[in-house]
Homo-oligomer: A and B are copies of this chain.
């Protein structure tokens, strides 16, 4: 049941060990659910309790350790051999005194992993302070070191099979965006539009069903378009209103976010129309510019040059790597399109180029998820790149 062939996972583990060696890390404790999935295939909504994948330079295979009831989930999704799938007792979950890390570290000691240089993910979402303190307390002879997103960085360059899956997700993004455009009508409740979008994201296409997206559809309606991360309400959608949608298809946990803006009415304001024009030009400029060898900050500069002409600026990053993930993000939290980021673009890196302008009282969003190709880039979705205007 894992999504990929075993040899693809083995290659990922090899890359991880190679990087660990270079960083002087002997044992890596992986907690980020996307990294756990990337290395083992593990896929379940269980990241709210402590669970780890342990990669050891001297271990043949990673070890999955999670809650006892989730061993069944691991059995359905990982490629590991049964003796590397280990469950800790249920009474350790959300306990005020006992902690799963006591069990996890006992297992590490049994496997001879107690006095090593241990890499930990200091910026992973589901690695809490208590877990880290228990880990350190139970392994007093180990040295701990921030892995500095080691596996996240490996994830940033995709395999051909990963690209195929993202193309499937792209088809779902297209469909969901079309549903967003069609279901947004004057008088509809915002929640009903959101429901239609989610229905489409999960139902996917006839060929490819959708997985749950790492972020629920974001949309900014009317004056709320000024705020980037609000959710829908029960309010009715009014006429003469601009609404932006930021949504994604998700397939086997791979995301291809896509953003567009719709104006309900006949005549958008001049500033909205002008901004749409400018941002559209910015997007084409950036997509023409992207190719292997350029840096993230050069990509940002290409965009900035366009909006500067109109006296505009955008403080927030204009792109970030995207792909495999779990809530709360589809981003990989590695490279970003902004000044100072000198990450060099490589073939099969995948970026969400998000040219969102959140202004005072209004907003405009246009985005594409693209793959860096041999000589340029290509988008995962085909959807007109314009301000949509409709009554």
For residue A234, CB closer than 8 A to chain B, the reply is: yes
- Interface residues contributed by chain A, number (CB under 8 Å): 82
A73 touches B129 (CB 8 A): no
Q: Which of B75, B122, B203, B333 contacts A195 (CB 8 A)?
A: B203
Binds B, one of A212-220, A265-273, A382-390: A212-220
- If A120-B129, A129-B129, A327-B328 touch, whether A43 touches B231 (CB-CB below 8 Å) is yes
Q: Which of B72, B96, B226 contacts A226 (CB 8 A)?
A: B72
Q: Give complex CA distance A336, B338 in Å.
A: 46
A73 touches B230 (CB 8 A): yes
Say how many copies of this protein the assembly contains. Answer: 2
For residue A130, CB closer than 8 A to chain B, the reply is: yes
Q: Give complex CA distance A224, B74 in Å.
A: 11
Residues of B within 8 A of A190 (CB): 209
For residue A123, CB closer than 8 A to chain B, the reply is: yes
For residue A59, CB closer than 8 A to chain B, the reply is: no
For residue A185, CB closer than 8 A to chain B, the reply is: no
Residues of B within 8 A of A211 (CB): 231
For residue A45, CB closer than 8 A to chain B, the reply is: yes
For residue A19, CB closer than 8 A to chain B, the reply is: no
Chain B residue nearest to A234 (CB atoms) is B209
A212 touches B216 (CB 8 A): yes
Binds B, one of A8-16, A103-111, A274-282, A312-320: A312-320
Contact with B along A219-238 (1 / 0, CB 8 A): 00000101111111110000
Q: Give complex CA distance A78, B140 in Å.
A: 44
Q: Give complex CA distance A204, B230 in Å.
A: 18
Q: Which of B73, B124, B234, B320 contacts A94 (CB 8 A)?
A: B320
Binds B, one of A85-93, A154-162, A283-291, A365-373: A85-93
A333 touches B94 (CB 8 A): yes
Q: A41-56: which residues lie under 8 A (CB-CB) from chain B?
A: 43-48
Chain B residue nearest to A334 (CB atoms) is B94
For residue A305, CB closer than 8 A to chain B, the reply is: no
A73 touches B328 (CB 8 A): no
A28 to chain B, nearest CB (A): 15
A294 to chain B, nearest CB (A): 19
Residue of A189, A194, A200, A320 most packed against chain B (CB within 10 A): A194
Q: Give complex CA distance A70, B227 in Å.
A: 7
A208 touches B234 (CB 8 A): yes
A129 touches B122 (CB 8 A): yes
Chain B residue nearest to A89 (CB atoms) is B315
Q: Give complex CA distance A48, B226 in Å.
A: 19
Q: 14 more A-B contacts (CB under 8 A) besides A76-B224, A77-B230?
A: A45-B218, A45-B230, A46-B229, A48-B125, A69-B358, A72-B226, A73-B228, A76-B230, A93-B317, A122-B133, A194-B202, A195-B203, A195-B210, A327-B327
Could you name 24 residue pairs across A and B whose Cβ atoms are closer than 8 Å? A45-B215, A45-B218, A45-B230, A46-B229, A48-B125, A90-B316, A91-B315, A93-B316, A94-B333, A122-B128, A122-B129, A122-B130, A125-B125, A127-B129, A190-B209, A191-B204, A195-B199, A195-B201, A195-B210, A196-B199, A202-B232, A209-B234, A212-B216, A327-B327
B-contacting residues of A (Cβ < 8 Å)?
43-48, 68-70, 72-73, 75-77, 89-91, 93-94, 96, 120-130, 132-133, 146, 148, 189-192, 194-196, 198-204, 208-212, 215-216, 218, 224, 226-234, 315-317, 320, 327-329, 331, 333-334, 336, 338-340, 358
